[in-house]
Structure 1
Amino acid sequence: MAKIKNYIGQFHPIVWVLLIGTVLSRGAAFMTLPFLSIYLSRHMDLSPIVIGLTVGMSPLMGTVGGFIGGHLSDRFGRKPVMLISLFTVALVYYGFTVASSPGWFVLLNALNGLSNSFFEPTAQALMADLTDKEKRMKVYSLRYTAMNIGASVGPLVGAYLASTSAKLSFAITGTTYLSYAIVLVILLNKFIVHHTGQSKKVVSFSNAFSIIKSDKALRYLIIGIILVNMGYVQIDSNLPQILEGSLENGIQIFSTLITINAVMVVFLQMPISHIAEKFRLMQVMVVGAIFMAAGLVVFSFVTGWTVAILAIVLLTIGEILIFPSNNMMIDRLAPEHLRGTYFGAAQFRKIGNFLGPIFGGYLLSQFQGQIMFWILAITTIGSVIFFSAGNKSFMKEITPNRQETIRT
């Protein structure tokens, strides 16, 4: 019991609230969003390109919104940005239940991406604000694990609702986000949270953008992640269409793959992260990109359960190596008073989440799924060039002189 208390006590109560909220909200989101392309294909009779555009609107808006939201949280505080974002996401999912045309789905999914992009970097920055530096890697790993605990349950429920009542899944997700927002309102009022950005120099939006633009290591990191995301996002956009169209039990295989992906992350995140800590972050991300590309190649040969499971295992190992390391890298690059801005700038990686479904949808409509996976595997491997360049730049720039330059 004493060990449990000590473990819980190492993090601020708000950090635990955010972790628990991540489990619930991500579980609800994974119950709906992975099946959005199937819902649109069945009920709207849209082409793969239009479906890709609709699914991609969320990350497109997230690309712009993340930087703005992160900067606003540095200037005006984490609390208002987080709460407004959560309440808006709840309204979006309620809107999905009554949407009846493709235009409404595009608009609502765009608003969904914008609101989430405000919330995510702000929540990450707040967790860093409230956590000692030596414990932040553990917090980022716990957060990523929390995301996947929710993702391990959501798809199973979503697969059932996708064939019965998709609109019910939208309503459940909206209610979950609404409840999350209400709990945060209560607890953020109970615990007075001051983030470090408010006690330091506050820069203007234009100055913040200039600082980000001049950070070469960050720029390489973002470009590399964009390429990775173009491949990874196929799991949520074009893979379900391919499996449903080519396999009799495609939806069941797809929902099981997402669950396997999430369960692997839950159980392997910490041990793999422990091994990865012995290497440089960029080197870990290079290895992760290779595993992810291998998973995409194997997906091109899927004819049943065995090959599909092998593909998701390879892709998941790459995911575990890349994404937490990416967050830790942002944390190391960011000055304290610009932490929200840096985490917001990292949302530019969602350009890949926007381009991936559209590019993949084009390849799928013009050629076939196998060609699509091969080309996107090559695209993912291309990230290695930028991760390697970023590693060199990081080792040169992460010096006291660099930090002083950024701060001034």
Structure 2
Amino acid sequence: MKYIRQYMGMRKELYILFWGRVVTNMGALIWPMMTLILKNKLGYSATQIAAILMILGFVQLPFTLIGGKLADRFNKRNLIIVCDLVTVVSYFVCAFMPMSEKLVPILALAAIFAQMEWPSYDALVADLSSAEDRERAYSLSYLGTNLGLVLAPTIGGFLFANHLSLAFLISSLATFSSTVLIFLFIKDVTPVKTETVSGHYEEVRDGHSIWRVLWENKLLLLFMLCGGIWMLVYSQFNFLMPLNLEQYYGEQGAVLFGTLTSVNAFVVIIGTPVLTKMMSRIRDVDRLLLGQFLVVLGFLSYALVQNVLIVYFISMIIFTIGEICETLGRQPYLTRRIPASHRGRFSSVYTIFGGAFQLSGQQVVGSMADGMPMQTVWMFIVIIGVINVVGYVILRQRDQKAFSLLYDK
């Protein structure tokens, strides 16, 4: 019970966002299967899928920046509602369309508006929590995301072969339910002020551009670079892994991938409260380092062993623990080191930078997957991850000097 009690005492709006995440992700049947939809249903090659995802990602970039700008200027709750409604309508339309290439631009529209709302979500969690509660707040949000994902990917895997339209409909209705929750129960979004000395870095700086803030805090550029490499490595969970399973198991690869995704969500649900409690004395930058190391360790098994089911599940558990560590470090790290007035913009710039890095690398990975053995491609990903571990070590060494007030006892 102590792991559950640690989430008590925060603002009620954070609990509404938590339940909103749960409901939305109970219907998240589509995006975990996107690579398989493009591959198996529409007949694209790995290179073509990488190109489609890269184009979609680059189209999303300016909208992400717009979303961050809007999040810092307007009511974040209202922005989330508007973006959600576009996603709801898009999925609803897809549910009644025949499976064809015409689905791709509609799904792209849903993806664009889903991406636009993320800066508002991330910034709102920071606004509604003090610096001392930041880990608990983001941990709760992350937990809600994965509570909904426990069964969704598995259900999506079973619907994939013959009832994909039903998966679209469920996703639409689930997102709409979440939107109604936020509309009815979140009214007060007044930011919490941090009164401690370390809150100096969060002080509002109206009139300063995000580029000036970054120029004055150059270590954040290294943080963004490491984050970009992290996104490239981590994204193989939804790109290279389903391609790998499809190669060995055909259409049943969708079921296996859905099951592994549910294992991922289950481990997150069990592990997030436990690790949040256990890592309460571990600094955010150390969590980032540990997270990248464990993700690399999890993927290493794919480079060494293939077509052994038990290995897939063990590596998924290791990978997921690394994912939890990184999540518990990333948002607390950056929200403590940037002005509260720039949270939305920095979130969008970080996403754009990381997304551009990820998508550029994804094209290379897709080309490799079409022409090389899967184990060779996985070893390439592992090497990139090891390089990033070194990057996080450097970030850890320089962080104390750049943000010394956060280290004062």
Scaled by the length of structure 1, what TM-score is found?
A: 0.87
**Per-residue CA distance 1:52-109 (angstroms, 9 max, x = gap):** 233445544454433331222111221332222111221232343337543651x334
> Helix, strand or coil for the counterpart of 1:382?
helix
C-alpha distance in structure 1 between counterparts of 2:3 and 2:292, whole Å: 36
Find the counterpart in structure 1 of residue 240 from structure 2.
238
Alignment partner, residue 269 of structure 1: 272
* Counterparts of 1:310 and 1:48, CA distance in 2: 26
Which of 371-380 and 119-128 deviates more? 119-128
Measured in 2, the distance between the counterparts of 1:227 and 1:95 equals 35
| Amino acid of the structure 2 residue aligned with 1:33 | W
Are 2:371 and 1:372 equivalent residues in the alignment?
Answer: no
Q: Among residues 290, 314, 333, which one is paired with 1:287 in the alignment?
A: 290
Question: Which amino acid in the other structure matches residue 270 of structure 1?
Answer: P
Contact residue 297 and residue 319 of structure 2 kept, 8 A: yes
Contact 2:6 2:136 in 1 (8 A): no
Structure 1 residue identity aligned to 2:190: H
Return closer, same or farther for 1:88/1:370 CA change in 2, 3 Å cut-off: same
Cα offset for 1:121?
Answer: 2.0
2:390 corresponds in structure 1 to 385
* Contact 1:218-1:390 at 8 Å conserved across structures: no
Choose from 339, 343, 351 the match for 1:339. 343
Q: Which runs of 5+ in 2 are unaligned?
A: 194-202
Identical amino acids, percent of aligned pairs: 19
Measured in 2, the distance between the counterparts of 1:48 and 1:328 equals 35
Q: How many angstroms apart in 1 are the aligned matches of 2:122 and 2:343? A: 9
The alpha-carbon deviation at position 37 of structure 1 amounts to: 1.8
Shift of 1:352: 4.5
User: Residue 113 of structure 1 aligns with which residue?
Assistant: 111
Name the residue aligned to 2:10.
11
Confirm or deny: 8 A CA contact 1:297 1:373 kept in the other structure.
yes
Q: Distance in 1 between matches of 2:98 and 2:342?
A: 39
Q: 1:58, 1:111 within 8 Å by CA — same for their partners in 2?
A: no
Q: Give the CA deviation at 1:6.
A: 8.4
Query: Bigger CA drift: 70-79 or 166-175?
Result: 70-79
Given candidates 51, 73, 76, the residue that maps to 2:49 is 51
Q: Does 2:189 correspond to 1:193?
A: yes
Contact 1:57 1:113 in 2 (8 A): no
Q: CA deviation at 1:196?
A: 6.7
Could you say what secondary structure the match of 2:288 adopts?
A: helix
* Equivalent AA in structure 2 for residue 288 of structure 1: G
Q: 1:327 aligns with which of 326, 331, 339?
A: 331
* Separation in structure 1 between the aligned mates of residue 61 and residue 389 of structure 2, nearest angstrom: 22
Distance of aligned partners of 1:224 and 1:187 in 2 relative to their CA distance in 1, 3 Å threshold: same
How far apart, CA to CA, are the structure 1 residues paired with 2:244 and 2:175? 30
Confirm or deny that 1:69 pairs with 2:71: no
TM-superposed deviation, 1:20: 0.7
Write the deviation string for residues 342-388 of structure 1: whole angstroms up to 9, x where unpaired. Answer: 22333232335434543321110021211111101111222123322
Deviates more, 1:364-373 or 1:78-87: 78-87
Aligned mates of 1:316, 1:223 — CA distance in 2 = 22
**Counterparts in 2 of 1:176 and 1:356: CA distance versus 1, 3 Å:** farther
- Residue 316 of structure 2 is matched in structure 1 by 312
Identify which of 254, 259, 265 aligns with 1:256.
259
Instruction: Give the letter for the 2:266 counterpart.
Output: V
CA contact (8 A) 2:204 2:339 kept: no
Letter in 1 for 2:281: K
Q: Is the 8 A contact 1:117 1:347 kept in 2?
A: no
Deviations 1:275-309 (A, max 9, x none): 33333322222222121112112123221211111
Alpha-carbon displacement from aligned partner over 1:218-263 (angstroms, at most 9, x marks no partner): 2211211221221221221222122122136433322221111111
Greater alpha carbon shift after TM alignment, 212-221 vs 367-376: 212-221
Matching of residue 229 in structure 1 with residue 234 in structure 2: no
CA distance in 2 between partners of 1:137 and 1:177 (Å): 26
Distance 1:4 1:379 in 2: 35
Question: Take 2:391 and 2:22, find their aligned partners in 1: how far apart are those partners?
Answer: 32
Question: 1:36 — aligned with what?
Answer: 34
5+ long unaligned stretches in structure 1:
402-408
**1:97-135, Cα deviation, whole Å (9 max, x unpaired):** 337543651x33433333222212212211222223211
Q: Is 1:155 aligned to 2:160, yes or no?
A: no
> Are the equivalent residues in 2 in contact too, given 1:216–1:393 (CA < 8 A)?
no
Which residue identity lines up with residue 13 of structure 1 in the other structure? Answer: K
**CA pair 399-117 structure 1, distance change in 2 beyond 3 A:** farther
Greater CA drift, 352-361 or 12-21: 352-361
Deviations 1:143-193 (A, max 9, x none): 1111111121111110111022112111211122122223322334xx243
Contact in 1 for aligned 2:36/2:254 (Cα 8 Å):
no
Which of 215, 218, 224 is matched with 1:216 structurally?
218
Alpha-carbon contact 1:78-1:126 (below 8 Å) kept:
yes
What is the SS of the residue equivalent to 1:168? helix
Aligned partner of 2:22 in structure 1 is 23
Following the alignment from structure 1 to structure 2, what is the Cα–Cα distance between the partners of residues 216 and 90?
39
Quick one: which amino acid aligns to residue 91 of structure 1?
V
